[in-house]
């Protein structure tokens, strides 16, 4: 992919310790390292192991140019997720976020060490927007530049400014009208974290903004963001995941059973159901989804696992129960996956024709990359706005349960209707066609001479110039 250039720049990557963030930073690390730039990925031992263990979609040998730095943090609670909590935000992760704030001094020491070496003239720090407090000292260090990485869509980021500024009438903002205040999308304890680790540093650290996005997907909102920042230094350098999977890109471990099952199914006949790593469903919600999937009479793969804890390697994982006899009844038509699933490979498979998703940004980018339309069911955070981007702006999906009705109990009919519409109607076929066209455009954009390739080359030229 990249030009083989040698640089006197070293890059430090500072992700938030949550799966969707760790994953994006590891993919970006790989892409930057392919320009022969040394990359230093920092975090705790558990979170670095989590990133390495779960990564999929590219040849593991391509991370050999990445150096991982495991730093200790104070011991913190690792509470289990509460599936019956009134808010779906993963509050069980908050202690790990605050613990990560103690990486401030180790990262400073690493930057000083790299800057003092003979062959490094500049240290470039790419930090998660939610880790701003950790890198607050670095702009004062000689020959050090910081760039803010946004692990969310430009659509979501701009809609926040739109709300703060009183909802001005601008092109494209009509797609925000039925979303409530962004404050309702996060929990109270997360807002406390933002007040301590993000808000005080807005506009004070970053030399430029990076997005795991593409102008092909949301060019309007990227342009509006550049105007909002009053700063042309904004790069849309996604998608980070490979957009075409070859054998070397696929997981080097034993092939997952779900892929063997998909091989036996018809083209576009299977809906993939997964709500990510930060959503815990109650027993009643699981029961209603199970009934709805069964009633739909469509083929499906359902990843049924609890949300992550702050340390995913701790024991005591909740065992989720399905209705009695359920797995026997769906045999041949559906499979349940209770462990980590190779989502990228499932979405890339020709038998996968739909994706019921929480609309986390990783999932959206992966689904869009492979032309799979989405049955959107946002749970928290940026997901409500991402679902609007998918369903209203890009028009490659439909809504399972509107965000404004999030306090209502989901019913089997909601699930059944969404699955049938996406998988077995002309409306669903039209969404698939639009998704396939968008996927093809994205694939072209990451090739030599394509728009996304040019953006990545531009960023690399900027930091190495």
Q: Which residues are catalytic?
A: 21, 128
> Residue by residue, what is the 3-state secondary structure of the chain?
CCCCCCCCEEEEEECCCCHHHHHHHHHHHHHHHCCCCCEEEEECHHHHHHHHHHCCCCCHHHHCCEEEEECCCCCCCCCCCCCCCCCCCCHHHHHHHHHHHHHHHHHHHHHHHHHCCCCCCEEEEEEEHHHHHHHCCHHHCCCEEEEEEECCCHHHHHHHHHHHCCCCCCCCHHHHCCCCCHHHHCCHHHHHHHHHHCHHHCCCCCCCEEECCCHHHHHHHHHHHHHHHCCCCEEECCCCCCCCCCHHHCCCCCCCHHHHHHHCCCCCCEEEEECCCCCCCCHHHHHHHHHHHHHHCCEEEEECCCCCCCCCCCCCCCCCCCCCCHHHHCCCCEEEECCCCCHHHHHHCCCEEEEEECCCHHHHHHHHHCCCCEEECCCCCCHHHHHHHHHHHCCCEEECCCHHHCCCCCCHHHHHHHHHHHHCCHHHHHHHHHHHHHHHHHHHHCCCCCHHHHHHHHHHHHHHC
Question: What are residue 220's DSSP bridge partners?
Answer: none
185's CB contacts (< 8 A; 6+ apart) are 89, 380, 381, 382, 383, 384, 385
């Amino acid at each position: 992919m990249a030009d083989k250039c040698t640089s006197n720049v070293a890059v430090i990557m500072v992700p938030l310790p949550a799966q969707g963030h760790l994953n994006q930073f590891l993919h970006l690390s790989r892409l930057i390292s392919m320009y022969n730039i040394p990359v230093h990925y920092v975090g705790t031992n558990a979170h670095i192991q989590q990133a390495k263990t779960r990564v999929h979609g590219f040849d593991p040998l391509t991370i050999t140019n990445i150096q991982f730095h495991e730093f200790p943090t104070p011991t913190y609670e690792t509470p289990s997720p509460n599936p019956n909590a009134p808010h779906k935000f993963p509050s069980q992760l908050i202690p790990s976020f605050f613990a990560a704030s103690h990486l401030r001094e180790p990262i400073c020491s690493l930057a000083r060490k790299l800057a003092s070496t003979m062959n490094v003239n500049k240290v470039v720090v790419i930090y998660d927007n939610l880790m701003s407090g950790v890198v607050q000292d670095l702009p004062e260090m000689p020959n050090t530049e910081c760039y803010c990485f946004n692990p969310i869509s430009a659509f979501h980021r701009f809609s926040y400014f739109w709300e703060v500024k009183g909802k001005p009438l601008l092109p494209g903002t009509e797609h925000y009208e039925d979303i409530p205040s962004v404050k309702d999308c996060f929990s109270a304890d997360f807002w406390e974290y933002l007040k301590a680790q993000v808000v005080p540093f807005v506009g004070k650290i970053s030399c430029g903004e990076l997005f795991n996005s593409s102008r092909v997907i949301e060019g309007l909102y990227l342009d509006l963001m550049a105007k909002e920042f009053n700063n042309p230094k904004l790069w849309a350098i996604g998608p980070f995941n490979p957009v075409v999977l070859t054998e070397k890109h696929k997981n080097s471990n034993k092939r997952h059973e779900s892929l063997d099952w998909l091989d036996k199914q018809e083209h576009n006949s299977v809906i993939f159901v997964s709500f990510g790593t930060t959503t815990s469903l109650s027993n009643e919600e699981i029961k209603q989804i199970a009934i709805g999937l069964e009633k739909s009479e469509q083929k499906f793969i359902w990843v049924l696992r609890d949300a992550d804890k702050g340390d995913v390697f701790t024991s005591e994982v909740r065992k989720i129960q399905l209705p009695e006899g359920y797995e026997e009844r769906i045999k041949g038509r559906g499979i349940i996956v209770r462990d980590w699933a190779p989502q990228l490979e499932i979405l890339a498979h020709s038998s996968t024709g739909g994706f019921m998703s929480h609309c986390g940004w990783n999932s959206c980018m992966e689904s869009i990359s492979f032309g799979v339309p989405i049955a959107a069911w946002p749970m928290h955070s940026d997901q409500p706005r991402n679902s609007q981007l998918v369903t209203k702006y890009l028009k490659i999906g439909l809504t399972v349960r509107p965000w404004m009705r999030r306090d209502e109990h989901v019913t089997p009919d909601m699930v059944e209707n969404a699955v049938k519409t996406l998988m077995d109607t002309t409306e669903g076929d039209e969404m698939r066609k639009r998704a396939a066209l968008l996927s093809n455009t994205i694939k072209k954009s990451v090739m030599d001479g394509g728009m996304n390739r040019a953006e990545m080359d531009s960023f690399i030229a900027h930091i190495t110039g």
